[in-house]
Each structure stands twice: as structure tokens, then as C-alpha cells.
Amino acid sequence: MGRPSDTAARATNIADALVVYTDGACSGNPGPGGWAWAVAPDGSPHGSGGDARTTNQRMELMAVVEALRANLPLARSSARRLVVVSDSTYVVHCFRDRWWARWRANGWRNAKREPVSNDDIWRPLIDLYLSLPEDERPDFQWVKGHSGEPMNELVDQLAVAATPR
């Protein structure tokens, strides 16, 4: 197990945080998919949506984008830090390890010098993140998926339900 990230450690020490769980789901990859977010501890409010042809990673990202759009104003108005909890290492590692900084510096190319996947979602997500004062930027924490954690199970169910049939 690696050392906890600074953001995760900072978030765990915040007593009064607005915690939002996110998840994406996809039936086939690519295929129809859904995304969802829900505020802990009881899942209210929540939001979800879907796309007829997408990938799981795109739905994980859309869940975060929509969670931030909906909940940043609430977090800011109540002076609470927003903590995004995701079972996607793709999302959490991007922020924990600052992948986005290298991508931007390299013209939105990854370490293999290939175009960053899903940059049409990553770019506005990172722009939104960077538009916030540093002390108001959300923290990102990882949760093991399908492990019985109630809020993670809830957003998984919401994302599956939002998947177009």
C-alpha cells in the first residue's frame, strides 16, 4: 500500500466536509453507460445521467464533472471543503498524482506522447478545478468498488439505472 496523498490526508482531517460519492457504469465497453453522484451520508441530493455509446472511464469522469457543477456552489456557500469519493483510480490518481499538470505541460499528451484519452472531458474538468482558489479545490479519495460501502453501492445503482436501455 502506497503512502496516502497529501490531499487525502488533508481531507480526512476535515471534520465538516461536503462528501460526494461518484460512479460510472457501462454495459459493454464501449456501450451504453450511466453516471451518478450522491451526497453523503444519505444520498440526497443526487444526480445521474447516461449516454447511449460511451466507455466506463468517460462515465466516471462525467460523474465527477456533474458532481462538481452541482455541489461546488453549496460547498462554497457553506464554507465546507468538497470531498469527491470515487472507486475510479483513473480519476483519483489524476488529482492525487497531478497527472493533469504533466498533460497540460505536454500539450495534452500522456507519458507515451499519445493524446490523452477523454481530453474533451478532462480539459474542462481541470479548468474548473484550477479556476478555484487552491484552498477551495476539492479533495479526491478512493473507495474500493463493490465492497459493500453503502454510498458507493448507492451511486453504482444510480449509474446503472441511468444507463440507456
Question: Catalytic residue numbers?
Answer: 23-24, 60, 87, 146, 156
Which residues are 39's β-sheet partners?
20
Sheet containing 31-39: give its strands across: 46-54, 31-39, 17-26, 81-86, 139-142
89 grid coordinates: 483510480
Burial bucket for residue 136 (CB in 10 Å: 0-12, 13-18, 19+): middle
Do you find a cis peptide bond into 133, omega within 30 degrees of 0?
no
Residue whose C-alpha is closest to residue 149's, from 56, 40, 70: 40
